[in-house]
Structure 1
Amino acid sequence: MLVRAVLARCEAMGAETLMFDGPSLASLPHFNPENAERTPAQSALIAAVRDADGIVIGSPGYHGGYSGLVKNAVDLLEDLRSDGRVYFDGRPVGLVVTAAGWQACGTTLSALRDVVHAMRGWPTPIGIGVNSVEQRPFGHDGNIVDVGIGRVIQAQAEQIMSFVMGNAT
């Protein structure tokens, strides 16, 4: 829901967005670098990232690390290694983490930042961490009810769009 909220804010500023949610990531086979054949779902993810000017990655924090589903999807992006724009090169990447505790939020966000750096992307200065034990950012209707979280969602979307628009050619 948090990633969807960031994407919605980006859309409000003129972006076209595409969401790969948990069920779509769960449908991806385990990445096997020795098998060059890709399923339609894998090809769709690779193509979307290849064409993206900005990216948002969200993950729950499990034991201080990010989700295996997210890791598998990121590993699949090894197929971008020989592109003219390698991996996340020159693109802003917003990061969103939910975890049952602040420590897990911080370590998971840090781990994702390291991955983005390794993949030549630009993590936005604002990373979103939500402690699911203490915070309930959405109401029963799905609308954001936590004003502070609403502000960081807006700030991250603005940073993504500012970077994209500043690099538009």
Structure 2
Amino acid sequence: MSGSSSPRAKRIVGLGGTFRQASSSERLVRAVLAECEAMGAQTIMFDGPALARLPHYSPEQPGRSDEETALVDAVRNADGIVIGSPGYHGGYSGLVKNAVDLLEDLRSDDRVYFDGCPVGLVVTAAGWQACGTTLSALRDVIHAMRGWPTPVGVAVNSVEQRPFGPDGTLSDEGIARAVRAQAQQIMYFSMEPAS
């Protein structure tokens, strides 16, 4: 059709991990993003070291750092989100919580918080109980922020499972299937981008 423009690629934002670069939770979020990219999405990742540079969230803070602004703007323009966290004492990490708290800056947007966005959740923890409670805690937060947690959550028990092989690729087929399924759900449920 002459003069018609093709729709822009869906934008998927990943955030999470630990202070340790290439932590398993970060690598799993990146794996979901890679599957989204394979389906045509543009992705951006805010890993643990990037989140560690964010100051402690304060609603009264008069301005935002470049790092804070980059995260808020990326989520503001996202069609879908992936959040990953280790399980710490039955909950998600303070590093991830601080980043999510910063997204309070989206409260007055036309699309408030994660409204209408699919949000894939990835958890790694030392035991199935910690996987379940951490995943549940993250789902509660996403609901409170008007997002739609994908039906598939990726939970990896680091005591029993080794998701990555020596070459760094996903080697556990069950985890790889969950990663693919989550990415498909994010892409399917994400808002149709405007042309």
The question of 1:22 aligning with 2:48 is answered yes
Q: CA RMSD in A?
A: 0.8
Indicate whether 1:64 and 2:109 are aligned. no
Matched, 1:99 2:125: yes
More strand by share: 2
Please list every run of 5 or more consecutive structure 2 residues that lacks an aligned counterpart in the other structure.
1-26
- Runs (4+) of structure 1 moved beyond 4 Å? none
Residue 46 of structure 2: SS of its match in structure 1? coil
Aligned equivalents of 2:166, 2:68: Cα separation in 1:
33
Deviation at 1:152, TM superposition (A): 0.3
- Which of the pair has more CA radius of gyration? 2
| C-alpha separation in 2, matches of 1:89 and 1:57 | 15
Count residues in correspondence: 168
Q: In 2, Cα distance between the equivalents of 1:6 and 1:93?
A: 11
Distance in 1 (CA, whole Å) between partners of 2:107 and 2:190 is 21
1: distance between equivalents of 2:62 and 2:175? 41
Q: Secondary structure at the match of 2:123?
A: strand
Which structure has more helix as a fraction of its residues?
1
The CA distance in 1 between the partners of 2:163 and 2:60, in whole Å, is 42
Report what 1:33 is aligned to: 59
Q: Corresponding residue for 1:53?
A: 79
Q: Percent identity?
A: 76
CA distance in 2, matches of 1:41, 1:28: 6
| 1:1-169 equivalences in 2 (<5 Å) | 1-164=27-190, 167-169=192-194
Flag structure 1 segments of 5+ consecutive residues without an equivalent. Answer: none
* TM-score computed with the length of structure 1 as normaliser: 0.98
